[in-house]
Amino acid sequence: MTRLIEIHSPSGDVSLRPRPAPETVLLVIPTLNEEAHIEHTLDQLLRGRYGAERVETVVADGGSTDRTRALVTAYAERNPNVRLIDNPRRLQSAAVNLAVSSCARPEHRVLVRCDAHAIYPPGYVLSVANSLMGREADALATVMDAVGETCFERALAAIVDTPLGSGGSGHRGGTRSGYVDHGHHAGFRLDMWRKVGGYNESFAANEDAELDHRISLAGGRIWLDAGIRMKYKVRPSPARLARQYWLYGRGRAQTVTTHGLRPRLRQRIPVIALVVNILSLLGGALLHPALFLPLAVYLLTLCAASAYLVLRMRSACGLWGGVALFAMQMFWGAGYLRQRLAGPGAR
């Protein structure tokens, strides 16, 4: 069921396209201890034009110990299209799979996945559905723009979406739309979702890229719409960032080994840098001081990145940029190596 109406996308573009009716869209939001964000997130997603409040919305909670569940329950009492379900496996991948298997109805054609602590523009959900159904695509990715508030977060947000941070991924602050092999998950045609079996729940991270690979193997196409953007809040500390990228590295290695893929150059660089830095440190300490040179060059590069950020941000907060790069690159590489050495089934 579609209707032809004028669309104002979050990017400001106006076009005429058949927009899926809200009743054909299933929105899933995984949660775990999100009391500080969940009400605002629901308000962002379900307030807007074209009947966004009529979208079937499922909050799949992984066992929150704060007030998340109570807040969602109260919200659902005021909004009959919102419901809360339990996600006993806790993982986001399991949350989305469970919501589809238990809540999707025959009239649902589009699945939209959103996060509980991101910042969404007005009309995001139906813009995703409209963009997906308006072209030959089976999945839709949108662009993520990093934001932060503290000194460290601001520096991280300024550098994470650069080639040094994310490796140049189009969905990280990019401006060009087009078909891609992977992107930030926003929407899916439910028939393709069911065809490939949804997320692989053995993945604690990188489940999105693994699913995108299976969609491509099944003949599906993924469209990155750079006109639809959302903001995500970066990790608040170097330790939290390091853990995040450790998991990212492990997840990527699991995808590579599961499907027998060859890692891309931008995925090899952090691993190579880690190995070279370790060998340089050991060689310089045990054999000859000249072997410290590769490590010194790497550290000077981080210092240069920090200096660049200080000038770009016009703030001493930019000094955190090198620390953020070290955490992202070294811990991604360490997680990748750990998973490759442990084998595809290791947890």
For the stretch 62-113, pLDDT in tens is 999 999 999 999 999 999 999 999 999 999 999 999 999 999 999 999 999 9
pLDDT of res. 7: 32
Q: Is the Cβ–Cβ distance between 121 and 230 less than 8 Å?
A: yes
Residue 141 inside a domain? The answer is: yes
**Which of 39-43, 154-158, 173-177, 298-302 is predicted with the least confidence, judged by mean pLDDT?**
173-177
Domain presence at residue 114: yes
Give percent above pLDDT 90 in the chain: 81
Interatomic CA distance for residues 175 and 128, integer angstroms: 16
Q: Indicate the number of domains in the chain.
A: 2
- pLDDT at site 14: 33
Residues 216, 281 within the same domain: no
End-of-domain residue from the set 207, 236, 265: 236
- Give the span between the Cα atoms of 190 and 133, in whole angstroms: 11
How much is the pLDDT for 165?
A: 86
Is residue 21 scored above 90 in pLDDT? Answer: no
Residue 8: per-residue pLDDT: 36
Q: Is a pLDDT exceeding 80 seen at residue 12? A: no
Query: Do 278 and 140 lie in a common domain?
Result: no
pLDDT band at 18 (very low <50, low <70, confident <90, very high): low
Same-domain pairing of 232 and 261: no
Residue 291, C-beta contacts closer than 8 angstroms, at least 6 positions apart: 279, 280, 283, 284
Contacts of 321 (CB under 8 A, 6+ apart): 155, 156, 158, 159, 302, 305, 306, 308, 309
Q: How confident is the model at residue 189 (pLDDT cuts 50, 70, 90)?
A: very high
pLDDT of 13 strictly over 60: no
pLDDT of residue 170: 80
Q: State how far the Cα of 237 lies from the Cα of 242, in Å rounded to an integer.
A: 9
For residue 49, what pLDDT band results from cuts at 50, 70 and 90? low
Is pLDDT at 175 greater than 70 in this prediction? yes
CA proximity to 120, closest of 44, 208, 202, 190? 44
69 and 26 in one domain? yes
Query: What are the tens digits of pLDDT across the range 198-215?
Result: 999 999 889 999 999 999
Cβ contacts of 239 within 8 Å, gap of 6 or more: none
Q: Which residues contact 185 (CB under 8 A, 6 or more apart)?
A: 113, 139, 141, 208, 211
pLDDT band at residue 169, thresholds of 50, 70 and 90? confident
> Is the CB of residue 9 less than 8 Å from the CB of residue 227?
yes
Provide the b/e sequence for 308-338 (b: ≥16 CB within 10 Å). Answer: bbbeebeeebbbbbbbbbbbbbbbbbbbbbe
Q: 347 in a domain, yes or no?
A: no
Residue 34 in tokens? 């999100």
What pLDDT shows up at residue 15? Answer: 42
Question: Does a structural domain hold residue 241?
Answer: no
* 42, pLDDT greater than 90: yes
Q: How far apart are CA 92 and CA 207, in angstroms?
A: 9
The predicted pLDDT at position 338 comes to 97
CATH code assigned at 159: 3.90.550.10
281 and 153 within one domain = no
CB 72 within 8 A of CB 185: no
Parent domain of 6: 2-236
Statement to judge: residues 218 and 108 lie in one domain: yes
Judge if 195 and 49 occupy the same domain: yes
Give the pLDDT band (50/70/90) at residue 227.
very high
Average model confidence (pLDDT) across the chain: 91
The predicted model scores a pTM of 0.89
Measured CA distances, 213 to 15, 45, 167, 296 (Å): 31, 28, 19, 38
Kindly state the average pLDDT of the residues 134-153: 95
Mind giving me the DSSP string for 150-168? SHHHHHHHHHHTSTTTT-S
Instruction: Flag whether 247 is in a domain.
Output: no
Residues pairing with 111 in the sheet:
26, 188
Helix (H, G, I), strand (E, B) or coil at 239: helix
